[in-house]
Structure 1
Amino acid sequence: MRRAILRLVPRLASLAALLALAACNGGGGQEMVFGTSITATPMGTTSSGSSTSTSTTSAESSTSTSADISSSSASSTGTSGAIPDLGLIPDGGDGPPPGCKGKVDFLFTISSHPTMEIKQARLKASFPGFMATLESEFADFDYHILSSNTSGLWGYPSCVGCQDVCAELPEYPCGTSPEPCDSIRGAGVTYPIGKHASNQRCELASGLRYITAGQPMIEDAFTCIASMGTNGADGVAETTVLALADDLDAPGACNEGFLREDALLVVVAIQDTYDQGSQGTAEDWRDALVEAKGGDADAVVLLVISTDKDEPQGLCGYHPGTEHELRTWTELMQPNALFGSICAEGYDDYFATVAKMIKSQCDVFVPQ
């Protein structure tokens, strides 16, 4: 709407000038007929419930305007003060939007439910191709990648008193001291723990709790922060909301600097169960994403990979009767959102589609 209004300013100024000329003519029997039709209509409701309006000038109306002016001018030939034929009034416009210029903030919220081992493996396998596609699209690909803590827990009571390793979890070293943000839900994960987890401090060159552009061996770094294990934590929607809240993104907080005003936000939430444990509703989760980007729903792209048992043709089987809030969340974020079945053999196609969404939205992105 803002860009459309700006484009109208020079047009209206030109019309005003023509009216002024007509007035100076004292009328002279000439009649100016302006057929310009400007219609502002709300676009289909997006995730924020807000709408974008478009202003259009029909070609037919413009042609009519030009013909009327030309006719008026012709009837005044040889008359002092005749209005010249100006033709179509140029649209000054305000130039193309600035775009995100390759700046993208990726937030991954990954369930560590006991059945998530193979799904996490599929996610990690899709990552290299996804990043390669985006690098080919953006000359200056400037990314932040954060994997949020879904459990809010760190450590195991059974490790107390261990000297070397825990007998029950031989891959997890005892005696490691947690950092302050390790046990905060929604904070970036740098030491995933548990069965099938990384169980080590991930080496992030940024020194922050998320990966930044220029990270050496980025695939290894992502594999480390995305290997959440299977310690039973769900609630990816609520964790997403927490990760984007001011409490965690403020200066000095765990996720400080992750969200950038001039970057597109891409959220990937993956959970193989219905998200019945998250606080709030799909509308609340939608609002949180939009609020994180200053009220601009078009500055967010959402990918949800979850069970599709609510669909008759679902890959996970069909078990009707349960409301799927994660699917509703995705639908509320349309058209910049995609829902994928977690039971697919691979997630490459989902990420390829999302890569196209990111490129498209980045091109029209206007920082708030």
Structure 2
Amino acid sequence: MELRAWCAALCAGTMGLVGCGGGAGTNQDSGSPGAGGPGAGGHGQGGDVFGQGGNIFGQGGGSIGNGANGASGGTGGNGPNGSGCQHVDVVFALDNSSSMREEKQSMREVVFPAFAQALLDISGIQDFRAAVLDACPRPANFHTRGVGGDCSFQSGKSWMESSSTDILGEFECAADVYSNDVECSSNNDDEQPASSVAAALEPPFSNEENAGFLREDALLVVVAITDEDEQPVPRQQPQAIHDRLVAVKGDAKNVVFLGIGGKTDCEGAYGSADEAEDMQRLVDTFAADNRGFFWDLCEGRLEDGLTNALTAIEEACEEFVPVVN
């Protein structure tokens, strides 16, 4: 599928991110009226690629009590008691070992740019931010440069903001992962993407290099990719990594985790991949709350993995309630 066609499909699927007040559609031209309670919109728009009713014509109340300005006018939410997703914080962690050349090329040239464009095309979402790091947690700072040099994020931060006028260029730069400053030995200790995200969102990095990234009223989406397996150093069980990621958001339902790796040992579209047993077990810990999704590298087409993960993002957005510490 060419980029333009895929992006259109992804944009349609991602409409579920902001469909927090409409009723369920049935892949028809129009869905049932919104039924989200006091924050519901007047009309739910019908069928996206998941058969769900979005509601750009009157979105429900947001997590901070703001109704969206749909064409048919949604009413406001219930202030702090409102629920819904209007902000999204995304972290991509990419194994940067030499065997990942094909995957990195796809992320850089197709997946990252298309995902950024899809987020920009969402009607109703207030904003998003996105950060990139490799699979070594030493250091677990977000990347502000690619192999070609500094990415010059317009945000002036170590992450990208949706307000950037060059968000596609910023994604392309950051996806060309530069990791010559890591302290990992490259002896399997640089293949722990999920652990790296957890470290990036915890002290000391959350108080220093990555300070200010996480927002209390934003859904956290983690995308971790490796062609081997999650190999934490020191060793941790998948449940422990899950608990670390959930702790930074206060509620398991406020985190969506997409793990990308080999379902089995294979020679796939991106070359060889080892069975990512621990990555699959980690996804399973999130799947208990319908927040986990695994994509098999052996199948190729990383863009399809993100598209399919939007079902989990959609549900998480509908149920999101900020936890104020």
TM over 0.5: yes
Quote the offset at 1:242 in angstroms: 0.6
Which residue of the partner structure matches residue 202 of structure 1? 151
Q: Summarize the alignment of residues 21-40 of structure 1 with structure 2, pairs less than 5 Å apart.
A: none
Alignment partners' CA distance in 2, 1:96 and 1:261: 12
Q: Does the Cα contact within 8 Å between 1:308 and 1:317 map onto a contact in 2?
A: no
Using structure 1 for the length normalisation, give the TM-score: 0.57
1:146 paired to 2:131: yes
Q: Which runs of 5+ in 1 are unaligned?
A: 1-93, 153-183, 193-197
1:122 counterpart residue number: 106
Letter in 2 for 1:283: Q
Between stretches 344-353 and 284-293, larger displacement belongs to 344-353
Please give the alpha-carbon distance, in whole angstroms, between the structure 1 residues aligned to 2:233 and 2:84. Answer: 31
* Residue 108 (structure 1) aligns with: 92
Which AA in structure 1 matches 2:140? G
Please give the per-residue CA displacement for 1:66-90, whole angstroms capped at 9, x wherever unaligned: xxxxxxxxxxxxxxxxxxxxxxxxx
Query: Partner of 1:302 in structure 2?
Result: 257
Q: How big is the shift at 1:139? A: 1.3
User: Aligned pair 1:99/2:99, yes or no?
Assistant: no
User: C-alpha distance in 2, partners of 1:364/1:140?
Assistant: 15
Report the AA paired with residue 219 of structure 2.
L
C-alpha change, 1:281 and 1:149, in structure 2 (3 Å) is same
Distance 2:119 2:273 in 1: 35
Q: Distance in 1 between matches of 2:84 and 2:161?
A: 16
1:278 Cα deviation after fit = 3.8
Greater relative contact order (CA < 8 Å, ≥ 6 in sequence)? 1
3-state SS, counterpart of residue 185 of structure 1: coil
Identity of aligned residues (%): 26
Q: What does residue range 299-338 of structure 1 map to in structure 2 within 5 Å?
A: 299-309=254-264, 324-334=277-287, 335-338=290-293
2:172 equivalent in structure 1:
223
Give the Cα–Cα distance (whole angstroms) in 2 for the partners of residues 367 and 339 of structure 1. 25
Q: 1:149 to 1:340 in 2, by over 3 A?
A: closer
Larger CA Rg, structure 1 vs 2: 1
2:220 maps to 1:265: yes
The answer for the alignment partner of 1:188 in structure 2 is 142
Query: Alpha-carbon deviation of 1:317?
Result: 8.0
Change (3 A) 1:318 1:267: closer
Residue segments in structure 2 that go unaligned for 5+ positions in a row: 1-77, 181-185
Partner amino acid, structure 2, of 1:110: L
Deviation (angstroms), 1:328:
0.3
CA distance in 2 between counterparts of 1:106 and 1:317 reads: 27
**Number of residue equivalences:** 233
Q: Scaled by the length of structure 2, what TM-score is found?
A: 0.64
Q: Structure 1 CA distance, aligned partners of 2:139 and 2:193?
A: 11
Aligned-pair CA distance for 1:148: 2.0
